[in-house]
């Protein structure tokens, strides 16, 4: 409707312009108006000429807009043609089913449902055509030739042709999101070496490391509304399917090395199925089935831009966004993006842990700050490495590795009855937080007030702190487990 409105406005303005010109000519030549024309001061003619010039400028502007609208109309016509073809196929199939014996109920099959979904998706695209045709575009600081030349020098295996969508995401990550990219590129110094080692081990393109930026902004604790967790945003089922431990104590979706290995194996499997990295990346986001449906709905096409309109919306922009992130990382110096220093240590070491260990025990005896230990080992959900018969890995700063080794088994014995009492371990196993609170008794405190403040019972406080009576004294430490 917008397009036809533009056409009508242009026609109306053109008619108005022609009428004004005709009227001016008639007035100058008709005898009955000669006297009036002579009596009109010359200065009165200027507004007529000015209005005509304005109309001509408006017509030129509308013509330009009309050309843009025509391009959009061509895209719309293509969608309508495809919709009609889909409908014809659906009607043909319906007639065939109706002719079969016992087809009174015409129970829908999976194939029919998928066909209906395809028709629905196309109709929705046409209904929302303004959003489809006029995707948000950013104006970049550089001409297209600069972006194209830089992409060619990147020699990416994604091999995406340059277009408005790719350009928009290049500008988004390299120019609009400068402050965010400063932090992300700083984090790359810690995470990318691990990503690259893993990807290289599986023979995968190293550029796939940028997927973690799109997935989580390099936040190992990131959690999506759908329940996907970690740097690589594995769902519960996908994480378990790729061998990640997920239980009350440990969630390896947040483990840097374990989750990266699982992501690499998933991408390897996706590439083996689709034989194209762009499609493999899409499959990582929407699943193998999502890409297969997009291929089917495109009429069997397998090129990324051919199935692009049929992908889920969040998947559709995934690959261009990844190209934009790679561009910003590769050319951050030229773009003036200054990375923020990463708080995680450049050099780390791993130690094997068998049996229970609390991160506070490491802090107390080794001296590594608890916050840093948590950032290096976010997979231990409650700061506890469980005794589950497995050998677990603890990541610590390289400079603290020798201190840890020197402590030996004494680390795991240190305050074990406090940090990992039976009640704490049971609370975690029953989906509690496992948090340990150390309360320092003040003048006027009693067990009843403390129990009420923290939502526990007096009996629990006495049990946790080995108290035989209700008597406590100022300065005494009371341990509370949540």
The tens digit of pLDDT for each residue in 344-367 reads: 998 999 999 999 999 999 999 999
pLDDT at 127 (0 to 100): 41
- DSSP structural state of residue 43: G
- DSSP structural state of residue 380: B
Is the CA virtual torsion 308, 310, 313, 319 positive or negative?
negative
Q: Which residues contact 228 (CB under 8 A, 6 or more apart)?
A: 234, 235
What is the pTM (predicted TM-score) of this model?
0.64
Query: Do 163 and 317 meet the contact criterion of CB atoms below 8 Å apart?
Result: no
Q: Which residues contact 457 (CB under 8 A, 6 or more apart)?
A: 451
- Kindly state the tokens that stand for 422: 């039976």
pLDDT at 459 (0 to 100): 87
- Kindly state the tokens that stand for 229: 């967790």
CA 352 to chain centre: 34
Ordered by start, the domain boundaries in the chain are 1-28+55-95+111-134, 144-335
- Kindly state the tokens that stand for 69: 């609208």
What is the largest distance, in Å, between two alpha-carbon atoms of the chain?
122
Q: Which residues contact 111 (CB under 8 A, 6 or more apart)?
A: none
- Residue stretches of the chain with pLDDT short of 70: 1-53, 56-140, 429-436, 482
Is residue 301 classed exposed, middle or buried when 0-12, 13-18 and 19+ CB atoms within 10 A define those classes?
middle
- Cα(416)–Cα(356) distance, integer angstroms: 9
**CATH 1.10.530.10 corresponds to the domain 144-335:** yes
Q: What is the pLDDT of residues 116-147, one digit of tens each?
A: 444 444 444 444 433 333 344 455 678 889 99
pLDDT at 80 (0 to 100): 60
| 3-state SS string for 394-409 | EEEEHHHHHHHHHHCC
């Amino acid at each position: 409707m917008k397009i036809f409105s533009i056409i009508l406005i242009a026609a109306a303005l053109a008619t108005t312009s022609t009428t004004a010109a005709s009227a001016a000519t008639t007035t100058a030549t008709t005898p009955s108006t000669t006297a009036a024309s002579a009596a009109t001061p010359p200065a009165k003619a200027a507004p007529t000429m000015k209005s005509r010039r304005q109309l001509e400028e408006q017509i030129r502007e509308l013509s330009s807009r009309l050309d843009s609208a025509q391009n959009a109309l061509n895209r719309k016509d293509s969608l309508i043609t495809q919709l009609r073809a889909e409908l014809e196929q659906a009607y043909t199939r319906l007639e065939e089913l109706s002719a079969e014996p016992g087809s009174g109920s015409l129970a829908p099959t999976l194939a029919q449902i998928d066909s209906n979904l395809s028709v629905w998706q196309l109709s929705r695209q046409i209904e929302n055509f303004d959003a489809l045709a006029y995707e948000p575009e950013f104006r970049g600081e550089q001409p297209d030739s600069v972006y194209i030349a830089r992409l060619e020098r990147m020699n990416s295996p994604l091999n995406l042709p340059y277009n408005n969508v790719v350009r928009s995401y290049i500008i988004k990550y390299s120019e609009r999101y400068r402050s965010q990219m400063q932090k992300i590129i700083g984090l790359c110094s810690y995470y990318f070496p691990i990503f690259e080692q893993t990807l290289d081990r599986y023979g995968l393109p190293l550029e796939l490391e940028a997927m973690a930026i799109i997935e989580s902004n390099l936040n190992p604790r990131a959690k999506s509304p759908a329940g996907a967790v970690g740097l690589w945003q594995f769902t519960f089922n996908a994480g378990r399917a790729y061998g990640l431990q997920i239980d009350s104590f440990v969630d390896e979706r947040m483990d840097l090395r374990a989750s990266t290995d699982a992501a690499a194996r998933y991408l390897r499997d996706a590439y083996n199925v689709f034989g194209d990295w762009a499609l493999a990346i899409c499959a990582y986001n929407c699943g193998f089935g999502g890409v297969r449906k997009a291929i089917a709905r495109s009429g069997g096409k397998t090129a990324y831009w051919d199935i692009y309109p049929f992908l889920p919306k969040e998947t559709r922009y995934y690959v261009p966004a990844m190209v934009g992130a790679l561009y910003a990382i590769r050319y951050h110096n030229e773009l003036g993006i200054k990375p923020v220093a990463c708080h995680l240590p450049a050099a780390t070491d791993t130690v094997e842990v068998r049996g229970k260990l609390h991160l506070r025990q490491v802090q107390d005896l080794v001296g590594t700050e608890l916050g840093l230990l948590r950032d290096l080992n976010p997979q231990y959900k409650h700061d506890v490495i469980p005794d589950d018969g497995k050998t677990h890995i603890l990541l610590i700063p390289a400079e603290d590795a020798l201190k840890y080794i020197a402590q030996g088994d004494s680390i795991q014995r240190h305050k074990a009855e406090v940090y990992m009492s039976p009640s704490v371990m049971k609370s975690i196993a029953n989906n509690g937080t496992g948090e340990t609170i150390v309360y320092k008794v003040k003048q006027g405190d009693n067990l009843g007030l403390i129990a009420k403040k923290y939502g526990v019972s007096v009996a629990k406080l006495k049990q946790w702190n080995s108290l035989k009576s209700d008597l406590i004294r100022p300065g005494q430490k009371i341990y509370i487990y949540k």
